[in-house]
Amino acid sequence: MRILGMIMAGGKGERLYPLTKDRSKPSVPFGGKYRIVDFVLSNFVNSGIFSSYVLVQYLSQSLIEYLRTTWRSEGIISDHFLTCVPPQMRLGEIWYRGTADSVRQNINLVKDFAPDLVAIFGADHIYRMDVRQMIDFHLKNKADVTVAANTVPLAEASAFGVLGTDETGRIIQFDEKPAQPKCIPGNPKAAYASMGNYIFNTDVLLQVLQKRFCDVPALDFGKHILPKILTDHRTFAYNFQSQTLPGAKPYEEQGYWRDVGTIESFWQTNMDLLGPKPKLDLNNPQWPISTTLNRVPPTKYMGGTVTNSIIGDGCIIHPKAKIKNCVISDSVIIGEGAELEGCVIMDNCEIKPGAKLKKVIMDRFNTIASKQTIGHNMEADSQKYYIDPSGIVVIPRGKSKF
């Protein structure tokens, strides 16, 4: 069966500013060594989907360069590829105007590849998913369209697009952020929230985009298409939490999925990687998250104490330094007596001796001066840095030394 991946990676990520000041959301570093986009790409490859287009748009150069150098896509056959596609403006001098419009503007790629199914997924969430299990569900139910659904508490469902289903899983209702969300049949305390990931039969996708909704300029799958095709097409909800992920640990959160769209959620999702029983354990050889092969030496510990933290390669930890509950990326120098707590530090930064940082997200290529204090005095920090409403201090990307 021929399956084509269409990965939507064009979002601005405005709520992640200033981390998205110079890059799109999928290109933001995460977890000490990854980029956000690595998760959807790894899910596809691990699921045996090797033919994918990545649809990019805003501030896309960082993402394009990252994919070019990290995700080399030359397969042993021509059908194995990973190709970035900026807006081609085939329908006029217009940018992508919604998730469905981005696919519609590149419908020629779908026709040329002639797949049986098209997997249309977003690129800005942290999760692990065996897409083949979703495809098996799609085929078993003879579905035209299948929507990945995450189970959320009914009290929290109003923040999502909610899928109302019958007992078989067929979607009979779709409501965007409803005041009174529909519960899952047999589970009155939970609802199905759309994850924005779709499996389409190719003929249905072509009919929907080129005929039925051809005159709708700004076109979105969740907002415009999904609510209006339920009666005409067999549309099912796939329960993401029903999957059995190879290599998953029993202590991990079942169906872990996070939209890291805000500074607070980005920080918390990094923190979820820590501890002896993390909610998301990325040490899983059966379901690896692929990323850059960074040619730097091993980390050197000169002294100090490291507690419940992730430390990347090529770092130097000097004596008397104290690191607690932190995610540290590659090539970070932490000076003598420096203290870090609850911080996310991206690569190629230097924290000089005696500096103290607490609950700080620091982007790449920054240097913190000796004895400087950040995260301990919000009033003083607000004069120099961006402070999120959650109290997290964010230091934007510095200037590369290379």
Please write the tens of the pLDDT for every residue from 279-314: 999 999 999 999 987 889 999 999 999 999 999 999
Q: Judge contact between 397 and 28, C-beta under 8 A.
A: no
Check whether 96 has a pLDDT greater than 80. no
Residue with tokens 């990854």: 34
DSSP for 270-336, written as a single string: HHTT-SSS-SS----TTS---------PPPEE-S-EEES-EE-TT-EE-TT-EEES-EE-SS-EE-T
Of the listed ranges 49-63, 114-128, 203-217, 378-392, the least confidently predicted one is 203-217
Amino acid residing at 267: W
pLDDT of residue 89: 67
Averaged confidence pLDDT in the chain: 93
pLDDT of residue 252: 97
Higher pLDDT, 121 or 219: 121
pLDDT tier, 219 (very low <50, low <70, confident <90, very high otherwise)? confident
Check whether 214 has a pLDDT greater than 60. yes
pLDDT of residue 86: 85
pLDDT tier, 73 (very low <50, low <70, confident <90, very high otherwise)? low
Give the whole-angstrom CA distance, residue 55 versus residue 250.
Answer: 35
Domains and CATH numbers, the chain: 3-263 (3.90.550.10), 300-395 (2.160.10.10)
The pair of structure tokens assigned to 37 is 């986009």
Write down the pTM of the prediction.
0.94
Check whether 85 has a pLDDT greater than 70. yes
Cα diameter, the chain: 67
Residue 246, preceding bond cis, omega within 30 degrees?
A: no
- Reduce the DSSP state of residue 148 to 3 states and report it: strand
pLDDT of residue 120: 97
Q: Judge contact between 82 and 112, C-beta under 8 A.
A: no
pLDDT of residue 401: 65
Q: Does 96 show up as a binding residue in the annotation?
A: yes
pLDDT tier, 72 (very low <50, low <70, confident <90, very high otherwise)? confident
Q: Does 127 show up as a binding residue in the annotation?
A: no
Q: Which of 13, 18, 4, 3 is nearest to 37 (CA)?
A: 13
pLDDT tier, 380 (very low <50, low <70, confident <90, very high otherwise)? very high
Q: Does 161 show up as a binding residue in the annotation?
A: yes
Contacts of 117 (CB under 8 A, 6+ apart): 1, 2, 3, 4, 135, 138, 199, 200, 201, 202
SS3 of the chain: helix, strand, coil, percent, to 5 = 20, 30, 50
The pLDDT > 70 percentage for the chain reads 97
Question: Buried b vs exposed e over 224-241: b needs ≥16 C-beta within 10 Å?
Answer: bbbeebbeebbbbbbbbe
Q: Does 304 show up as a binding residue in the annotation?
A: no
Task: Please give the sequence-ordered ranges of beta strands (E in DSSP) within 130-267, or none if there are none.
Answer: 145-153, 161-165, 171-176, 190-201, 235-239, 257-259
The pair of structure tokens assigned to 238 is 């796939």
Give the whole-angstrom CA distance, residue 242 versus residue 220.
Answer: 27
Phi first, then psi, for residue 221 (nearest 5°) are -60, -50
The pLDDT > 90 percentage for the chain reads 82
